[in-house]
Every structure is written in C-alpha cells, then in structure tokens.
Structure 1
Amino acid sequence: MRIESNPNRRETEPEQRDGPFRLVVVSAGVGDPSSSRRLADRIAQKTLDSLANAGTPGTVSVVELGPLAVEIAQAMVAGFPGERLQEVIERLAAADAVIASTPVYKAGISGLFKSFVDVLDNDLLLAKPIVLAATAGSSRHALVVDDQMRPLFAYLRALTVPTSVFAAPEDWAAPDLIARIERAANELAVLLRSGAGRMIADGAWSGYQHQFAGNATRAERVTSDVDFSSSLMLLAAGGGTRSRRAEEPAA
C-alpha cells in the first residue's frame, strides 16, 4: 500500500485566543525559600519563554499549599472547601495549564500535596496540560514523580507532559536538570499552543463522569438546566445557604 503525502496539508496552527495562556503553579513546599517552589518557578519561566518565542503570551500565578494546610484538612473532614481554598480550586479550574511541584518525604510525595489533590473534583483537571515536578534530599527518590505523581494525575485524567522533573541538592547546578526543565517546558508550551487538551475535553466532555455541583469549568454543558446558585441547591451541594441579606437587591 502506498501512502502519498498531501502537499496542501497545513501544519497545526496555534490556538486562537483572546488573552494570554494562564499557568498556575501549585507548590507543596513548606520551607522559606522552598526548593519545590524554586523548581516550579524555573519550569514556569521556561514555559513563558517558549510561549513568547512562538508569539503567544502567558501569565503565571502561584498557589502555596503551606498556608492552606488547615483549610485543606477541614475540607477533607467537612466535605467542602472554605473560602480561600475554594478560590484556589476555581483558579485551577480556569487555568490553561498547571505546574505541580512537591517535596518528597519518607520515599513518598508530601502528605499536604496528596491531601490537596484529594479535595479536588475528579474532573477538575480533565485533559488539562500538567508538568509534574518533585524535590528531595537524595537522588534515590528520583522515581517518585513517575511512580506516584503520574498515576495520581492519570486517575484525574489530566494531560501530563512526557518529561517529569526531579531535583536533588546535587542537581541544581547540573546541565541535566536545566535540559529536563527546558524539555518539559517546551512540551507544555506545545500542548498549550496546539489546543489539544481543550479539544479533548470539548469533544468528549459529556462522556466522562462528573461530580454533582462540581467546580469544573465545563460543568454547565451537562447541567445547564440546573440552577446551582439557589439556596436549596447550595445546601444540597454542601455549601450552605445564602443569607437573605445577600439575596436582597442593592438599594
């Protein structure tokens, strides 16, 4: 069988957007400064550089999980997030891509990081491009990213880039770490510009299982006939009722 190339075939063009790509860094580091945050910042900057070189701007916002530790624990017990944690979840839902970075403790990812992921809706990161990164005190933990983080985000049906990034103390000045950061950042930039994640989610959104009254940005496409802003629906979703004062029109 002979396959001929089509001379009229056009290369994939960047996704047309009204604004810059929104990247969100999630860091579970608790030090000051945190090596996990420093690693995520390097990946984010390289991603911005790659996007800029292709003529597509991007912005970065940072979520530090340390200050949210109490709210994360309360959300795991109560079943719904507090105000600050809800704002973070909504920011993730609206993000075009995520850079997730965690320290490694006792041969495993941070408990704080895992607890945060546990309170997220299962469909919040569906087909969203994500870079996985981790730091540790020894290179013996280098496989934790692919052994523990990658299956976790696969369960959430996120679109993780092929290259993960790990840094031990001896890696910070090594050319190999710089090369992996650049490779992961370029992979993320290509996914963003191609619009692959958005097309995957848009094309099969109704075929996935979604959480009732969830935070995923496409939830309205499958529940457009339900008004979740009513007091009854807020109560059913575990968020409590709005006060009468809040419902009254302004004078």
Structure 2
Amino acid sequence: MRLVAVSAGLSTPSSTRLLADRLAESARGELEARGHEVRVDVIELRELAVAVANHLVTGFPAPPLATAIDAVTGAHGLIAVTPVFTASYSGLFKSFFDLIDPEALTGKPVLVAATGGTARHSLVLEHALRPLFSYLRAALVPTAVYAASEDWGSGGDDYTEGLPARIRRAGGELAALMAARPDRETNRDDVDEGDDVDALERQLSDLRFD
C-alpha cells in the first residue's frame, strides 16, 4: 500500500512536518500489524511553492510538481497537514489542492490535521479542512488532529486526550479505511461506484461508534 502525507509547513524544522511524520508512522504501524506492506512518501509543499505558483499561471506543472500530484492521486491513503494562517489553512496548502483533479480524491481515505500556536484555532479542522475534502468527495476519517504549541510533550488530563493518543486513534482509523477499501485503480471495472461509496459510509459509521 502507498500512503502519502502532504505537509504545508514553511519552516525547517517544522511542527507541521513533525505531525505529518507521526501520523504517517501511526497509520503505517497499524497497517503493518494487519499484514500489509506500506510505502510512505512525504511531500513538502515548501519545496514546490514556486512550481505551484507557476502552474496556477501557466497551467503546466513542472516535473517535481507533476510527480507530487501523481503521488497524491495514486495513493491508497492521504494525510494532509497545514499550519493555521488567519484562522484557516495556508494559501500554499489550498493552492496545491486546487491543482488536484476534483474527481481524483473521490472515496480516498483522508486524514486531516493542522498545527498552530494556540488551541483556540483548533476549529479550523471543522470549518475549513473538512469542508474542503468533503467537496472533493474524499472519505474523511472521523478523528482530525490539531496540535497547538503546548500539545507537544503533553500527556493530556482527565478530560482531554493528549496529542499522542489522538495521533494513535487517527492513524488507526485511517489504516482501517485503507485496509477495507477496494483497490479501485486495479479493480475499477469490477466495483460498482455506488456499492463502493455505501461500503465506505458503513466503515466510517463503524469507526465512529467503536
């Protein structure tokens, strides 16, 4: 299986990249425990910023950007992580996903996550990231992960789960959807799209009530 993580962090080192790596490791560990071989690729959008801007103007992707787009559209599962800018996803993050064919993520398991300086921006997951990938008809996992500065190294308390627990739960949910999803790239003629969507909805429902 191929798992792709997209990180829109701009600094080096980046908490956004760190969160993407930890989520990818969580999902990979769960998939390997289920007997799957997993390849993980991480796409750093900061390295593609100029190519993204040029593509928006010219309509033609440079080879590194075309490779990144192919990786996202061809993945069995996707992790998308952005820093919060002005209470939403970053412009670079949005510009990259504007270049993805609107049908390419249909039914694809996607885990969304974000990083920010304060917990008060955590609702970006619900008012910005979920609507974006719902529009693209992706199969979003129930748990989205937000990491504020104070979350790193925190174990949580009696009322809230710490960041490591949220990462484990989200990675497990993504792995479950990836493992259960038909391989529509190789079996597209054998799978009815309506049946595929219904099956994914049942799987998401099961995950919510475990």
1:180 aligns with 2:169: no
**Could you say which residue in structure 2 is the equivalent of 1:90?**
70
Larger radius of gyration: 1
Tell me the CA shift for residue 172 of structure 1.
1.1
Q: Are 1:127 and 1:198, in contact at CA under 8 Å, matched by a contact in 2?
A: no
Q: 1:203 is matched with which residue?
A: 192
Q: Secondary structure at 2:35's aligned position in 1?
A: coil
TM value normalised by structure 1: 0.70
How many positions carry a matched residue from both structures? 185
1:116 is paired with a residue whose SS is helix
- 1:168 matched to 2:148? The reply is yes
Which residue, 131, 140, 143 being the options, matches 2:123? 143
RMSD: 1.8
Q: CA deviation at 1:57?
A: 2.1
Specify the alignment match of 2:177 in structure 1: 191
| TM-score, normalised by the number of residues in structure 2 | 0.83
Structure 1 residues 177-223: Cα deviation after superposition (integer angstroms, max 9, x where no partner): 11111111010111111125849x74228xxxxxxxxxxxxxxxxxx
Percent identity over the alignment is 47
Map of 1:131 onto structure 2: 111
Partners of 1:99 and 1:131 within 8 A in 2: yes
State the shift of 1:49 in Å: 1.0
SS in 1 for 2:127: helix
- Unmatched runs of 5 consecutive residues or more in structure 1: 1-20, 206-251
Name the CA shift for 1:66/1:79 in 2 (closer, same or farther; >3 Å): same
Shift of 1:80: 2.8
Which whole-Å CA distance do the structure 2 matches of 1:98 and 1:25 have between them? 6
Q: Distance in 2 between matches of 1:197 and 1:160?
A: 17
Which stretches of structure 1, 4 residues or longer, exceed 3 Å deviation after superposition? 196-199
Structure 2 unmatched ranges of 5 or more: 156-161, 195-210
Give the match for residue 30 of structure 1.
10
